[in-house]
Every structure is written in structure tokens, then in C-alpha cells.
Chains A and B, each alone.
Chain A
Amino acid sequence: MILQTIITGLSIGGIYALMAVGYSLVFSVLNFSNFAHGAVITLGAYVAWAVMTQFFQVPFFPALVISMLGAGIIAFLVERIAYSTLRHRRAPSLYLMISAMGVAIALQNVLYATIGANLYALPPVFTQDSIQLGSAVISRMDIFAFVFSIIAIALLTLVLNYTKVGTAIRAASHDSEMVSVLGVNLDVLVAVLFLLAGSLGGMAGVFMGVKYMVYPSMGWITNKAYIGAVIGGLGSLPGAIVGGILLGLLESIVSVTVIGNVHLSTYRDVFSFGILALLLIVRPTGLFGRYVEEKL
């Protein structure tokens, strides 16, 4: 039972981490919360659904790659259309958040208006999903999702640490103006940033789709990934990973807890946001966050 809870927690935590990394990447350079990330993730899941069940019956792995690419490109386009003008104008972050909200509303409702509110299942990855481990029944998909999320994040870390673009992104997270003065094309850098964030989001979307279902409002779950990012410290990559996994674990523990005759699983989301409020009182910068002093 405990093992099962932990595995479930890790798998959902891994997915949270994938999404939270996307939030943190964008936040660290552009200094705003990209609330359109959820819509990108949803579209990523729909891309996988389309190529796996509607058009070509593509097997899982190619479909995963296609949907990562698709989500990356969508995120890039969102940046071009909704943020780049504001970015160049140095608009306050309020404007960027409003723009992000607009994108989120528009994309989600385009799905409602065209494909509809139906729930679609993605074909299972494993024919025999559950494995018996002592008394615990563990889903192969959960383990697979967790391992894959970790691999993807590890690859991202390699990219950030050992490539030129990665170095530029890390530098830009300290001072994007300075980086552009040094001759880095900030537009290209931001494009790469959104491609990376989007494709990780697409992967998360596919895992979500396999684990649960594909539907227009599935992007809601990213709000909890965002909480994960805040717990770890918004703008910090290790923070996003630790925060996401921590939140996933806590949630799966809460889900199986029963106090009296109240099943806490009903109040799982209330619990997550409660953690957010508590954290902001105790430690507003999160676990790994740095306090940025406003320059006058």
C-alpha cells in the first residue's frame, strides 16, 4: 500500500516537475508567470491523440516525439503572437499575464468549439499494465512516466549546462539585458526557451493523457505544477523538480488518507493550494528561490 502510494506520487510528481520546469524556465528569463502553459500542454496531448487514434495510428514513441515537437512549436508561436510585442515594449508583467490569460482562454475554448468537450483515451502503452509486488499493485505506466520525466529533465539540464544556448539562457536568467548587450540575439534565445518549455510540456501532456484522459480543460492540472514551482522557488530549475515531485508525493499521500469518515481525496486540490498559502507566509522565496532586489 505504502509503496503503491509512493510510486503513484512519484509518477504524478514527475509529470508536475516536467510542467513546473516549463514555468520556471520562462519565469527565470522573462520574469512573469506564463499562465498559457496549461493550454500548450493540453494541445500537446491533443496532438498525440490525433496522430495515435485519428489519422495515422502512429505508435507511442513516434507520437510522443511528434507531440513534443508540436507543443514546442505551439509554445513558440504563442510567444511570437502574444508576448514578443510586449517584451520589446518592456511592458509591465501585468500585461504579459493578461496576454497569457487571453491565450489560455482562447486555446482551451477553441478545443471546446471544434473538437468538443468529450473525453478521449489514448491507447495504453503497456498491454499488461499492472505488476504485483508483494501486496502492492503497481502500474508500469507510473514507473515509466517517472523514469522518462527524470530522463527528460536530466537531458534539459545537460543542454543548459553544456551547450552555448544553455549557457546563454542561464546568463539571461541573471540579466537578460546584459546578455543581449554581449551580442546574444534575445529573440532567438527566447524562442529556444519556449521550444524547450513547450516540448517538455507536450511530454507531460501525453503522460497525462495516457494516465487519465484527453479533454479541453485538462490544462487545469498545470496550476498545481505551478504550485510545485513556487514551492521549489519560482525561477529555479532544481526547485521546480524538487517542488513538483514533493507536491506529487504529498498529494498521493493525502488522497489515500481518511480522517473519521471523510476521504481527504475530495479535498486534495484544496490541500495543495493550502500548502501554497502556508509556504508564502513562511518562506515566500520557496525552497531554492533567490530574492531579486529591484534595481532603481
Chain B
Amino acid sequence: MEYAQAIFTNSAIYIIATMGLAIFTGYTGLFSLGHAAFMAIGGYAAAILTYFLGWPLLPALLISVIAAVLVSILIGYPTLRVKLRSDYFAIATLGFGEAVKVLFENFSLTQGARGLPGIEKLAGPMNTALLMVLTIWLCRNFLRSNYGRKIIAIGQDPVAAEMIGIKLLPNQMLSLAISAGFAGLSGGLLAHYITFIQPAIFSMDLSSLITAGVVCGGMGSLTGPFVAVALFIVIPELFRGLALWRLVLYGVLLVVIINFRPKGLFGHEELNLDNLPKLFWIAGLTVGLTVAASFYNEYASFWGRLPAIAVAAALALATTFGVSLLGRGLNWVFRRTLPGVGSSFRRTYDTIYERFKPQLVPVKRQQQRMEMVSRRAAVTVHGQPVLNVKNLGKRFGGVVAVDGLDFCVYPGEIHGLIGPNGSGKTTVFNLISGVYPLSSGEIQFNGDLISGKPPTAIVLGGISRTFQNIRLFGNMTVLENVQTALHTTSDYSLTEAFVHWPWGVKPTEERLYREAFTLLEEVGLADLANRVANTLPYGLQRKLEIARALALNPGLLLLDEPAAGMNPKESQDLVDLIRKVHETRKLTIILIEHHMDVVMSICDRLTVLNFGSKIAEGTPDDIQNNPMVLEAYLGDKVDYAAAS
């Protein structure tokens, strides 16, 4: 029994650290080689407090969390600044782990490399389990909040996330701080469970255990890493003779899983009724192996090897079968009872929520926020150009992509940007939205200079865009894609998000849900709200991208080849949609498009680019008869075309 308790407590401690890393690596898509270093910080902080100062466990753990978070900010800031790369952060955690080791080895208070024995055994199965449940609950709440969605968006496509106004560095650091905090908690518990602390405990082995847990369990999931780490603790106990090969196994598993099954056990899904049997099957297999191994160890010497193996194998099979059958049974029972239990639970929840709503819902805060949003949409001054591009230039090394371009876009117009392939249209969009720095010239939006501002500031200032090659948050649902883009209108605090404080989170989330749903109705995707985005057909993905861009309530919308790859029917649908959006929202739009029928039917004015310079500007009729344009598109049959 004591043995089972030890395994259980160990698993719980490592699961706490793994949940943190699941957020950092699994959801945010960043890589760390040495998360054990944060466990070391937490472990030492807590151990010093209880051993030398006689603190009780809980405050000591709180300090260890805080210490780990502070240290993570210190390392995260310089290394995560380098955009879109976590290589530097990975190597820095490794170096940081080494630094921590060296420092504690030379730290006489904790007896250097020999370590500090005799820490009071304050962590047991009960309080560890409680803290583990708390950790999972907090992580789950966080991931389902507005803050979590931002982080998940970064993990799925950092560029697209930035283009809906999500700042990368602060959110990546938030994700790091959360994972470091849980690692610190886990380290503190570990020290008080094994009653001994030494720099060598927090080695590469420990980091690889939790990384292997996250990857094998499945990135983008909390359930998966939970199951995987539990297995990693339980299974090696069965094969004690092969202890040396355990780490080899982790390494091989990492390579095999990432190559052949990148979603691991439960990638991008959480525990639900559908995968409950799968979970029980895995559990059954593990329990079966445990039973078989202990049986073999017990009876092999009496019965001889072969009979013992045969009986053990039979036992393993029977147990696996039994437990997975139990899973199916439970699944059957839950399918019938859970909806009832769920709805009565929800009713109670709603009653309590309504009862305290008048006292606790921060109505005023929401009104302020809504006013701010509506004010932003109403900045358009009539007569003055919405967008004023002056002498815009961009060179990549020796290649001049855009050269001395001037054009204006006036309020409420649909402005077409056309030109042959490679004429610099998309580059112009990238310059306007701040993805590339300008080589020369300036860009004004509603009279304000925006060139030189970071992309997120430009987006939040009112210019949103879509992409030539679709960039959705592929593993989110259609609705979540739009909800994520509504992030600026969320007004609950991070603390409220963590504890899922009903009176702070619920009203806002309900409003975000309604707004997102309305936007989906506007583009005609409401029926597909719960589909995973990358399972949508191509044409609908384009529409979803437009809905996501509209969620930012832009004053100017940049559409980059929205009809690319569409058949005539689809592109007609799209034209209708653009026209509708334009009319109902009084929206100014710049459109890059190759389908000339689309361009000519909806654009008020066109700017034609060739080799990065403007060769013509005017109404569609003017452009159709402009000899320069015809030459650019068709070659030098100028006379013939002009004559007709």
C-alpha cells in the first residue's frame, strides 16, 4: 500500500510540473530544454523557508511559486524577444539550469553538492493530490478564458495572432510565467516529499521526463500529458531491471511520436465521453502490466519461469480487458445520466449566479469598455482620406519591391489594388500592416502617422487584414477563431480567469459568444460554429478569415486575394459578401484580386501596380481602357487594344 501511495504521490508531483509545461510547449508552441531548473528554484526556496525558518508548507510553496515566476521573467525577457524563435530560450533554460546547479553547489547554507537532508516530510498523498487537482482546475480555467485563447492562438500561428492584435512577447512571457510557477510548486512539493534536496535531483532527466510527458500525451491537451506522465512513473516501476534504459525509452518515444503521431495520445482534445473508453483501455493496459509484473516477481521462483510468465500474461490480458470493459460500461452509464446531472448542475449554478448578480457583476466596467470600442469605430472624418500612402518604398537587399508609391483611399470606398504577379501588391499590404519595416516614405491612417508602429498597434488602431494563403487558427473551432479576435473587448482580470470567477467571466464570455455568433451569421458560417477550422472547405475558410478580421471592428479592411482559387459560383458569393459587409458597416476596403470580374464589379477605384510603381489609377472603366495597364498585363499590343 505504501508503495502504491509513493507512486501516486510521485505522479501527482510530476503532473503539476507537466501541466505547466503543457501550457508552454503544448499550447504556446515554445520549446524548453530545462524546465527542471524552475523546479530547482521552487524546491530550494521552499526547503530553505521550512528548514531554516520553520515556515509551514503552504506559505513556503507560495514563495516558491513566486520565486520561480520572477526568475522565469528574468530569463524569458531577453530570450523570447527574438521573434518566433524559442531556440534561444531553450538553450538559455539549459544554461540557466547549469547556473542554478553551480550556484547551489557552491551555496554553503544548503550544503552545496552534498545536499540538504532532513527536510520535514510535509507533503503527503493527500495535500499533493489536492494541489494537483487545483493545478489542473486553474490550467483548465485559464485555457478557456480570453487570456488562454490568446496564448493558444500564438501557438497555432504566431503571425496570424499578431495580425489580430495579440502582442507576442507579453503573452509568451505570461505562458512561461505560468509554467514556471507550476514547476516551482512541483519542486517545492518534491523537496518536502523526498525530504532531501540536492542540485543533482533537478537534472536533464527530470526535464526530459516532463517534456516526454507533454509530447507523448499530446500537444494542445491537458488530459494527454496527465495520462502520459502517470504512465511514465508507473511503467518503469514494473521494469526495475531496465532502469538504465528508461531514459533511452523517453528519447526514442519523443522521436517516434513527433515523427509518426504528432498528436500523441490526446492531441488537441480533452477528456470527454467519446474518448473515455480510450483512457480506460490505456489504464487497463497499465494496471494489467502492473499485476502481471508483481505476480511474476512473486511466483517465478516457485513455479518456474515459463508457467509464471504464462499466468502473468493471462492475468494482464484479463485485467486489460476487464478495465476497458469497465470503461465502456461507464461510458454507457454516463451517456444516459450525465446530461441530466449536467443540466441540474447548470441550473443550480445559474440560480446562484443570478442571486448574486446585482451585487457582483461589474456593469460599469463593461459599459466603459463598450464605449471605448464604439468610439474607436467612429473616428472616420469625412472628406479626409482614410489611408494616405506617400512615396512608399521597400527594398529586400538589391530587389526593389515597392518604389515611390503614392495613393489615397477615401472613406467608404472599395479600392482595388491590381497588377501582374510580383508587382508588389502583397508587399504593400505587409508595409501598411507593419509586418515589414518601410525603406522609405510614410503611411497615414486617418491623419495619424502609422508607419514605424508595431503591427499590433496598427491592427488595434483599426486596420485589419486577411492573408493570401489562409492563416486561421487551424485546431480551434470556427467560433473560437472569431472569439479570439474579440480579445480586446474582454474585461475580466487574469485572476478572475484563473478561478473562473462567475460574476466576472460569465457575462463577458456570454457577450463574446453572442458577438462572435453574430459575426458568423453575417458571413454565413453560423451553422458550422463548432467545426474545427481546418476541416472547413477552402471557400469557407476564406469567409471565416473575413469574419475574424471584422471582429476587430476595423475602420479599414485589407483583403488579400480573397477569391483566389475559387470557382465562379464561390467568387460570386464572395462578391456578395464583400458588398454586404461594405454596405452594412460603411467599411472602407482595399482589395487585392486577380479575378478581373470581381474587381471590376465591386471596386469604386483602382490603383494598378507594375514593378512596384503605380502605372495607373482611376475608375474601373478608365483602367480597362488604359493603354499602360493593357501593356503591363498583355504585352505591347497597345495600339490594337486602344483602337478597339
> A interface vs B, CB < 8 Å?
32-33, 35, 81-82, 85-86, 91-95, 97-99, 101-110, 112-113, 223, 226-227, 230, 234, 266-267, 269-270, 272-274, 276-278, 280-281, 284, 293-294, 296
* Residue in A113, A266, A293 whose beta carbon sits within 8 Å of that of B102 in the complex: A266
**Residues on the A chain within 8 Å of B260, using CB:** 85
Is the Cβ of B91 less than 8 Å from the Cβ of A230? yes
* Residue in B78, B103, B253, B262 whose beta carbon sits within 8 Å of that of A91 in the complex: B262
Q: Tell me the minimal C-beta distance from B260 to chain A in angstroms.
A: 7
**Interface digits, B84-112 against A, CB 8 Å rule (1 contact, 0 not)?**
11111011101110110011001000000
Q: Name A's interface SS.
A: helix
Q: Count A-B contacts at CB 8 Å.
A: 142
How long is the Cα–Cα vector from A16 to B204 in the complex, in angstroms? 22
* Residue in B78, B81, B84 whose beta carbon sits within 8 Å of that of A294 in the complex: B84
**Residues on the A chain within 8 Å of B245, using CB:** 109, 113
Q: Name B's interface SS.
A: helix
**Residues on the A chain within 8 Å of B534, using CB:** none
How long is the Cα–Cα vector from A52 to B64 in the complex, in angstroms? 50
**Residues on the B chain within 8 Å of A105, using CB:** 204, 208, 247-248, 250-251, 254
Is the Cβ of A269 less than 8 Å from the Cβ of B95? yes
Is the Cβ of A230 less than 8 Å from the Cβ of B88? yes
How long is the Cα–Cα vector from A35 to B75 in the complex, in angstroms? 19
Q: Tell me the minimal C-beta distance from A282 to chain B in angstroms.
A: 9
Is the Cβ of B244 less than 8 Å from the Cβ of A112? yes
Is the Cβ of A103 less than 8 Å from the Cβ of B81? no
**Residues on the A chain within 8 Å of B77, using CB:** 281
List the B residue with the shortest CB-CB distance to A103. B255
How long is the Cα–Cα vector from A82 to B258 in the complex, in angstroms? 9
**In the complex, given contacts A98-B215, A281-B81, A296-B435, what are 6 additional A-B residue pairs having Cβ atoms less than 8 angstroms apart?**
A91-B258, A95-B258, A102-B250, A105-B248, A276-B95, A280-B78
Is the Cβ of A276 less than 8 Å from the Cβ of B262? no
List the B residue with the shortest CB-CB distance to A223. B94
**Category for how many chain B residues contact A:** 35 or more
Q: Tell me the minimal C-beta distance from A247 to chain B in angstroms.
A: 12
Does B483 interact with chain A (Cβ within 8 Å)? Answer: no
List the A residue with the shortest CB-CB distance to B435. A296
**Residues on the B chain within 8 Å of A230, using CB:** 88, 91
* Residue in B79, B82, B211 whose beta carbon sits within 8 Å of that of A101 in the complex: B211
Which residue among A81, A99, A106, A270 has the maximum number of chain B CB atoms within 10 Å of its CB?
A106
* Residue in A33, A93, A98, A278 whose beta carbon sits within 8 Å of that of B254 in the complex: A98
User: Are A267 and B29 also in contact (CB < 8 A) when A98-B215, A277-B78, A294-B159 are?
Assistant: no
**Residues on the A chain within 8 Å of B396, using CB:** 293
How long is the Cα–Cα vector from A112 to B244 in the complex, in angstroms? 7
Is the Cβ of A276 less than 8 Å from the Cβ of B92? yes
**Residues on the A chain within 8 Å of B255, using CB:** 81-82, 99, 102-103, 106
List the A residue with the shortest CB-CB distance to B93. A273
How long is the Cα–Cα vector from A109 to B245 in the complex, in angstroms? 7
**Residues on the A chain within 8 Å of B204, using CB:** 105
Does B468 interact with chain A (Cβ within 8 Å)? Answer: yes
How long is the Cα–Cα vector from A102 to B463 in the complex, in angstroms? 43
List the B residue with the shortest CB-CB distance to A277. B78
Is the Cβ of B88 less than 8 Å from the Cβ of A102? no
Does B193 interact with chain A (Cβ within 8 Å)? Answer: no
How long is the Cα–Cα vector from A169 to B215 in the complex, in angstroms? 32
How long is the Cα–Cα vector from A237 to B248 in the complex, in angstroms? 33
Is the Cβ of A266 less than 8 Å from the Cβ of B91? no
List the A residue with the shortest CB-CB distance to B208. A105
